[in-house]
């Protein structure tokens, strides 16, 4: 029986993050009529809150920088890290299509990328790159090209902006972090540009100088606007329409009104994971159990994953997440990712017994995994504590705690979680930790740190560790004794920046059933799909890189593109 649709298009995309908008844009450029629907009142999804980095092997941009990559090496590297249940063909599809996707993206949108000497997270593994140039970061973008749509773009994460409103680039982060030449002048210029952006500043808090994830999603939205693709906000998915075993459309609520939308070529589910759905976490996860600590956006509640499963889709790796250590400031709606701070000299992480139990400078995914397993198996790591001294306090940030700003002038809620004492023993008492145990831990750490050594956990030995260390400090950029009082501590939790298990897909981004057969007309990308990385995190950008690449693959498959 023929369906009666309120609206019919060729491609319906559910979700307005990078993967969803990429699917929509490629579809539109290949002459498909496309509609994007977004559950929230702002667009951009978790992608807009991110660093915007993408992990792309063999790109033309890296080649122009003198880095000649080998795609077989990249495949070997990913295959060695990914879960056994991820098919070879999915990993190969990503490796083979990532570079063409990036060239297409930079040709069809205003975004431009730079390849960085950013080492792979496990650079010492076969096929890994210790010199980098697989991770790419977006260049800044003038948000004025978006017109009124800029106002409804999702803000960056508090961990990826300054003061919660000022956008910054990766280079500016380093300049501020290490007080590089001209740092104060550059900061003053950027603040002036923001505050004197009149009359816009009187009606919006948005920074119109777009960087990182805002630059990427802003460029994609500009591409959609130029292609005439509508994006409906406040339009959650209710269910998928299945006819004869294939998905032919979806039921949505558009600003409270039900709509039946037909999709002649297919539906792309790109609405993120179930980061903020506590019930689904309780059902599927034994490591990353607390939705409050996730850095994902509040609208990520797994609606599309449940809709896909109801339509017959298989799911995979729902226990998995992009793990991360996070700071949690009371009253905020998400955890704040801790990336750089742990690698800087003059700090350590301890459990509730006052013991170190990991290499603090490891990648945030590895650190988050170790913390979560420790919390599950021993019950003493959530929270753990970041312990640092006076020198660190005034040189570097520690999550939401800003350097150069007196303790009394810090954010009021940040002050509620900050511990401070004249001695390590006094600090331990405030932390609820055995003073003798913490004192012994710090003494042992200090003895070796003075020589630039960490025989217990090898901090500062790997290429990744060194990248975030202080290049001004030797012999090990990650190690300095914690010995200058007063001493400080802040709680840090095992969290995540999003779930990465979801609907099972094939190399064409088609959603599949338990028997491996594809569900006609249904595709999934980004954190809506089970990641091709499995439970691993091979390098910076392996979240957005596959999201964009499989979005590109999905749209080309639906439209029969041959370009």
Q: Torsions phi, psi of 523, nearest 5?
A: -130, 155
- Map residue 459 onto helix, strand or coil: coil
51 in a structural domain = no
555 in a structural domain = no
What residue numbers bound the domain in which 475 lies? 341-496
The answer to whether the Cα torsion of 416, 417, 422, 428 is positive or negative is: positive
How far apart are the C-alpha atoms of 528 and 535, rounded to whole Å? 15
Assigned token pair, 118 = 């950013």
- Map residue 212 onto helix, strand or coil: helix
Q: What pLDDT score was predicted for residue 2?
A: 63
Q: What pLDDT score was predicted for residue 404?
A: 87
> Which is nearest to 105 in space by CA: 218, 265, 228, 268?
218
Which residue ranges in the chain fall short of pLDDT 50? none
The helix, strand and coil proportions of the chain, stated in percent and rounded to the nearest 5, come to: 35, 20, 45
Q: What pLDDT score was predicted for residue 562?
A: 59
Structural contact between residues 481 and 450, judged by C-beta atoms closer than 8 angstroms: yes
How far apart are the C-alpha atoms of 129 and 536, rounded to whole Å? 16
Assigned token pair, 415 = 């002050």
210 in a structural domain = no
134 in a structural domain = no
The DSSP bridge partners found for residue 209 are: 142
Structural contact between residues 479 and 345, judged by C-beta atoms closer than 8 angstroms: yes
Q: What pLDDT score was predicted for residue 453?
A: 97
Q: What pLDDT score was predicted for residue 411?
A: 87
Q: How many domains does the chain have?
A: 1
How far apart are the C-alpha atoms of 481 and 345, rounded to whole Å? 8
Residue 489's domain is classified under what CATH number? Answer: 3.90.700.10
480 in a structural domain = yes
> Which is nearest to 304 in space by CA: 546, 512, 45, 529?
529
Angstrom CA distances, 67 to 118, 135, 254, 330, 496, stand at 12, 12, 47, 45, 32
Q: How far apart are the first and last CA of the chain?
A: 36
107 in a structural domain = no
- Map residue 93 onto helix, strand or coil: helix
220 in a structural domain = no
69 in a structural domain = no
Structural contact between residues 263 and 251, judged by C-beta atoms closer than 8 angstroms: no
């Amino acid at each position: 029986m023929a369906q009666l649709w309120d609206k019919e298009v060729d491609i319906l995309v559910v979700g307005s993050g990078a993967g969803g908008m990429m699917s929509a844009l490629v579809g539109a450029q290949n002459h498909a009529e496309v509609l994007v629907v977004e559950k929230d009142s702002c667009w951009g999804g978790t992608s807009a809150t991110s660093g915007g980095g993408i992990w792309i092997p063999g790109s033309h941009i890296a080649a122009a920088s003198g880095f000649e990559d080998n795609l077989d090496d990249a495949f070997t590297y990913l295959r060695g890290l990914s879960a056994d249940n991820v098919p070879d063909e999915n990993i190969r599809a990503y490796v083979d299509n990532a570079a063409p996707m990036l060239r297409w993206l930079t040709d069809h949108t205003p975004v431009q990328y730079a390849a960085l000497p950013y080492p792979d997270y496990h650079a010492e593994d076969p096929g890994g790159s210790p010199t980098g140039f697989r991770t790419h970061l977006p260049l800044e973008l003038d948000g004025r090209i978006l017109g009124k749509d800029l106002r409804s773009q999702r803000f960056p994460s508090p961990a990826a902006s300054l003061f919660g409103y000022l956008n910054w680039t990766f280079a500016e982060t380093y300049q501020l972090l290490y007080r590089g030449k001209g740092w104060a002048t550059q900061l003053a210029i950027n603040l002036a540009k923001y505050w004197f952006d009149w009359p816009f500043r009187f009606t919006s808090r948005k920074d119109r100088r777009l960087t990182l994830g805002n630059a990427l999603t802003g460029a994609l939205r500009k591409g959609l606007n130029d292609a005439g693709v509508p994006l409906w906000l406040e339009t959650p998915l209710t269910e998928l329409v299945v006819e004869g075993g294939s998905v032919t459309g979806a039921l949505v609520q558009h600003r409270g009104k039900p709509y039946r939308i037909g999709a002649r070529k297919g539906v792309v589910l790109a609405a993120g994971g179930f980061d903020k759905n506590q019930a689904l976490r309780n059902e599927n996860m034994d490591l990353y159990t607390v939705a409050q600590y996730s850095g994902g956006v509040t609208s990520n509640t797994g609606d599309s994953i449940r809709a896909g499963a109801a339509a017959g889709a298989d799911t995979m790796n729902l226990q998995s997440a992009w793990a991360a250590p996070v700071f949690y400031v009371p009253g905020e709606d998400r955890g704040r990712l801790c990336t750089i701070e742990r690698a800087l000299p003059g700090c350590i992480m301890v459990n509730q017994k006052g013991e170190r139990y990991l290499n603090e400078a490891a990648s945030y995914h590895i650190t988050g995994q170790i913390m979560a397993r420790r919390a599950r198996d021993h019950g003493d790591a959530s929270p753990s504590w970041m312990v640092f001294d006076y020198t660190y306090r005034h040189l570097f940030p520690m999550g939401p705690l800003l350097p150069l700003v007196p303790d009394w002038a810090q954010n009021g809620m940040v002050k509620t979680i900050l511990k401070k004492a004249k001695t390590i023993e006094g600090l331990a008492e405030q932390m609820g930790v055995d003073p003798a145990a913490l004192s012994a831990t710090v003494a042992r750490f200090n003895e070796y740190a003075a020589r630039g050594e960490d025989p217990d956990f090898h901090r500062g030995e790997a290429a990744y560790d060194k990248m975030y260390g202080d290049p001004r400090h030797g012999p090990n950029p990650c190690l300095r004794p914690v010995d200058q009082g007063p001493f400080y501590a802040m709680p840090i939790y095992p969290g995540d920046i999003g779930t990465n298990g979801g609907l099972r897909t094939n190399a064409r981004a088609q959603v599949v059933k338990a028997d491996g057969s594809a569900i006609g007309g249904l595709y999934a990308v980004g954190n809506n799909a089970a990641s091709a990385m499995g439970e691993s995190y091979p390098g910076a950008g392996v979240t957005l890189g596959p999201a964009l690449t499989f979005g590109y693959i999905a749209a080309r498959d639906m439209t029969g593109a041959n370009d």
